Structure 1
Amino acid sequence: MEIGKINTLKVLRETDIAYLLTDGESEVFLHKKEAKKPYLDNEELEVFLYTDNQGRITASTAIPFIQLDEVKRLEVVGIRHRYGVFLNIGIVKDLLLSLDDLPEDLNKWPQVGDFVFVKMIVKHDKLFAHIIGRKQLTDYFPDKEPLLENQVVNANVMYLLEHGLVCFTESFHEIFVHRNNFRKKYRIGETVNPKIIKQSSIDEYTATLIEQKEIMLEKDALFILNYLEEHSGIMPYTDKTSPEIISEIFHMSKSSFKRAIGSLYKAKKIKLDKEKTILNK
C-alpha cells in the first residue's frame, strides 16, 4: 500500500461502520460514508489512501485533484496560523501547506479563496503540500501555448522577490512583474491580471499590473512637473483652465490634466492656488 496514490484493494469483510480492505498483507478501513455502494467480500476497489487526523491510513473512493509527487493548482479553504493553510483536494480531508513553506509575515500568507501551485509529498508518514522552486514549477509543464504581447491573463502570485513578484497562470506560464510595474503589496496565492509586456525567455514572460490609465497618468504628471521646473516652479494653469488652453500647452485632455494635477497634489509635489499651480521646493 502507498499513501497519496490510488491503490487496488480487496474487500476483506464488512463491519458496522466500515469496510475492511486489504492488499494481502496490510489492512485499511473504508468508512461507509465513503462507499459508493454496498460491496461484497473479495470485491476489488480503486481507492485513494491518506492518513486521517489520528495518523491512521484510511481509504477514499473519491479521486483527488492531486496525487503523490504531482504538481497542481489548489484552492485555499482554511487557515490555522499554528499549522499553515489547508487546500481542497477533493476528498474529506484537506491537504496542509505547512507554515514551514510560508513567509513569517502573515500578511503574505494565502487567504481563503486564493490558489497556490504545490506538490504533494510525504513527510513523517503524512501527506503535505509543498511549494517547489519556480523553475521546477515551470519544468513540470513544458508544453504551453505561447502568450501574446498586451494579452491580459488570469494568474496567481507564487513568489515574492526583492525586485518583484512571480505569478503563474492555470496553464503554468511563468510571469515576472518588476516592482516598478505594480503599486500595492501582494500575497502568495492572490489572483492577479497581469498584462504581458514581452516574452523574456522560452518559459518566462514579463508583465505589468499597472492599468493603462495609471501609466498615462504617470506620464502626464511627469510632463507637468517638467513644465513647472522649466518655468521657475509656477504656472498660471489650474484645474479651472479651459480645455483649449490645456490642449495647446500640455497636449492632453482636460480630464487627463486634472488627474495628473490631483496625483501631484496627493504626492505633495505641488500647491494649488485659485489662479496658479506652484511647485513645492
Structure 2
Amino acid sequence: MIKIGEFQKLEILRDTEPGLYLGNGEGDEVLLPNRYVPETFNIGDLIEVFIYLDNEERLVATTDEPYIIKGEFEMLRCNEVTKHGAFLDMGLVKELFCPFKEQAFPMKKGGWYLVYCYLDEQSERLVASSKTKRFLNNVELTVEEFEEVEILVSHPSDLGMNVIINDKHSGLIFKDDLFKEVHVGDRLKGIVKKIRPGNKIDISLDQIGYRKIEPNAQKVLDYLNDNSGFSPLNDKSSPEAIKDALEMSKKTFKKAIGALYKDKKISIDEKGIKLITV
C-alpha cells in the first residue's frame, strides 16, 4: 500500500511522458512528475519519495523534502487564509490545509503556528491542526524520571512553558527551571525532572541533582577561561546575575563551584571566583 504523508522507497517501473511511474510490488502505482526525476536512473531502481495528493487531488510522489510529515509536530508559516481555512507552507508545491475547526486561535497570513499533521480519513488529505494537545497521550508513559528526552516548546502558561516530549507526551517546564530564553517551536534536550500524580511530567533543561554537577562545573570553567580566568560571581551573588551570566540557578551554581573548589580548580573569595592554573 502506498501511504500518503510518508516517505517510501518505491521501484521505478516505467518512464513515460509525464514522468516516472513508481510501484511497491503489490500492484500500487504513483507518478513521479518530470520535475522530480533524477538525471540518471534505471528501470528497477529504488527511489525514496514523499507521497501526497496534488492540487488536483491526485496521488503524486516528490523527491522534495517537506517541512512536516504525517504524525509530526512543526512550526509552519501561514501563506493564506480563505473562507475554507488556512493554508500553510509545508515546503512543497501543495500547501497544508488547516480548517477553522482545527485552529486553536484564528490563524493570520504571515503568522507562524505549531501544528500537528495528520491524514483526514474522509478526504484522504493531509491536514494540520494547531490543537496539538489532543494528539498527545500521557495515559501510558514511555519515559522515566531523570531520562533525557527531546522536547518541542509548545505554548506558555501561567506556570511556565508547556512542551511536547518525544512527539508523544505533554510536559511542563516550571518558571523556576527556565534559566534561558525559549520560544514556541524550539527543539531542545530536556530531562524528566519528576512524574507527578496523573502522569504529569515536569521537565528541566538542566541535569537533576548530582547528575548536574559535572556538566555545570565544566560550564563555569569554560566561562572562566573565556573571561581571563576570573568572574566577580560567587556564592553571595544575586540569582539574577548568575542567571544572566551562566543560564543556571544560584543553587546549581553553588554546587558547581563547590565541586570545582573541592577539586582545587578554583579559588573563592569576596571578590569572586578565580581559576587556579597549575
Please report the TM-score for the alignment, with normalisation by the length of structure 2.
0.50
Please report the TM-score for the alignment, with normalisation by the length of structure 1.
0.49
**Which structure has the larger Rg over C-alpha atoms?**
1
